[in-house]
Amino acid sequence: MITARGLVQTFQTRVGKEKKEVRAVDGVDLDVAEGEVVGFLGPNGAGKTTTLRMLTTLLRPDAGTATVAGYDVVRESQQVRRSIGYVSQAGGVSSGARAGEEVMDHGMLYGLSRTQVESRGKELFAQLQLDGLWERMPKNMSGGQKRRLDIVMGLIHDPTLVFLDEPTTGLDPQARANLWEHIARLRTERGATVFLTTHYLDEADALSDRIVIIDQGRIVASDTSDNLKAQVSGDLVTLEVSADQVTLAAEKLASVAASVETSGTHVSGRVARAGRVVPGLLRDVEAAGVTLESIEVHRPTLDDVFLTLTGRSLRDAESEADATDSTDSTDPTDSTASTGPTQEVTA
């Protein structure tokens, strides 16, 4: 569905008086198969949206080639536009227009007839739980409703490939979970190929068959979530013991784990296949006379993956990006908080 080779996009920016050339996208290769759901993950400013805009014909690549839905994005942009649906971060409806009218006009720009668009639009409204909102103005909709309306706009011409740019940014947790269900249905019910960008780890994890990680304009990894996590050497096992037994516990953990670290009464280390090792470890620890207060086993998170691949946690990368580029704000309800206290151990 998507094949990209060596995509490059450069922007001119001005730092003080000095003109600087920034390679926002720096040689991106991508392959997406039909029916795949691919999560394009990276911190703000990594080049996700820029890549997406090149793939959707909105931005002409400075170098490289891309074929989308079988057509070249530069030479056959018309055919690409006909085949794809694109839901941008900003959406695409005027806040003061009526939802149904926006959908009708949008569909008609694809050459659909009035009756075709109307029946398809109403059908999509029902599917995306927007019943009764045909006449509503987007400014009077909730964030989740507005976002689902944006998705209706992107699906009105029944595209086989759908691009979603940060689909759930700014939504409350309930609306996010609801939107995830709808996104998952794009494939299961419509058989669409989905390419979505996100800087939420849990979102990429929950929705995608495969995750492509981009950092500083380059692809740093592309694999299933499980395989990516397997690259991080093992699960994180944390033992909590009383203060006087910390050294002993660390010794025992070190016999099965790599890079054991101690922090207060917590001892932690990476263990390959914790499920098999932990029972033995527990017997071992008990035999040594250590009383466990608690034990925790964390599967690696995508944040661990990001850290392993780039040497920075996703959150650090975000704050760097914010420092240099203030166009996009970091959402505090983000990733690392929900995926477990892991990175200080591996760092």
Partner 1 sequence: MSTFFRDSFIVFRRQLRMNLRNPAWVIIGALQPILYLLLFGPLLKPLVSQFGATNGYTFLVPGLLVQLGMFGAFFAGFGLIAEWREGVVEAERVTPASRTALLVGRLMRDLLQLLVQALILIGLGTAMGMRPSWGGVVAGVGITVLVGGACAAASNALALTTKSEDVMAPVINMVMMPVLLLSGIMLPMTLGPAWLERISDFMPFRWIVDGVRSSFVGDFAASGVMWGTTWALALFALAVWWGTATFRKENA
Q: Least Å distance between CB 169 and partner 1?
A: 13
Contact with partner 1 (CB under 8 A): which of 105, 202, 284, 328?
105
Query: x/- site string to partner 1, residues 44 to 63, per CB under 8 A?
Result: ---------x--xxxxx---
Q: Least Å distance between CB 57 and partner 1?
A: 7
User: With binding defined as CB under 8 A, does residue 82 bind partner 1?
Assistant: yes
Q: Tell me whether residue 57 or residue 343 sits nearer to partner 1 (CB atom).
A: 57
Q: Among 70, 78, 314, which residue's Cα sits nearest to residue 322?
A: 314
Choose one: 87-95, 174-182, 221-229, 257-265; the region binding partner 1 (CB under 8 A). Answer: 87-95
Choose one: 75-83, 262-270, 320-328, 331-339; the region binding partner 1 (CB under 8 A). Answer: 75-83
User: With binding defined as CB under 8 A, does residue 91 bind partner 1?
Assistant: yes
Assigned token pair, 332: 């505090």
- Residue 120 half-sphere exposure toward CB, CA atoms < 13 A: 21
How many residues make contact with partner 1 (CB under 8 A)? Answer: 31
Q: Tell me whether residue 102 or residue 205 sits nearer to partner 1 (CB atom).
A: 102
Contact with partner 1 (CB under 8 A): which of 15, 18, 96, 273?
96
Q: Least Å distance between CB 271 and partner 1?
A: 47
Contact with partner 1 (CB under 8 A): which of 13, 78, 119, 263?
78
- Binders of partner 1 among 254-283, rule CB under 8 A? none
Q: Tell me whether residue 81 or residue 252 sits nearer to partner 1 (CB atom).
A: 81
Contact with partner 1 (CB under 8 A): which of 4, 153, 192, 267?
153
Q: Is 30 exposed, middle or buried (0-12, 13-18, 19+ CB in 10 A)?
A: buried
User: With binding defined as CB under 8 A, does residue 88 bind partner 1?
Assistant: yes
Q: Least Å distance between CB 259 and partner 1?
A: 46
Q: Tell me whether residue 78 or residue 319 sits nearer to partner 1 (CB atom).
A: 78
User: With binding defined as CB under 8 A, does residue 338 bind partner 1?
Assistant: no
Query: x/- site string to partner 1, residues 210 to 249, per CB under 8 A?
Result: ----------------------------------------
Contact, 22 vs 1, CB < 8 A?
no
CA–CA separation, 50 and 59 (whole Å): 8
Q: Least Å distance between CB 17 and partner 1?
A: 19
Contact with partner 1 (CB under 8 A): which of 15, 90, 243, 287?
90
Residues binding partner 1 (CB under 8 A):
53, 56-60, 78, 81-82, 84, 86, 88-97, 101-102, 105-106, 108-111, 150, 153
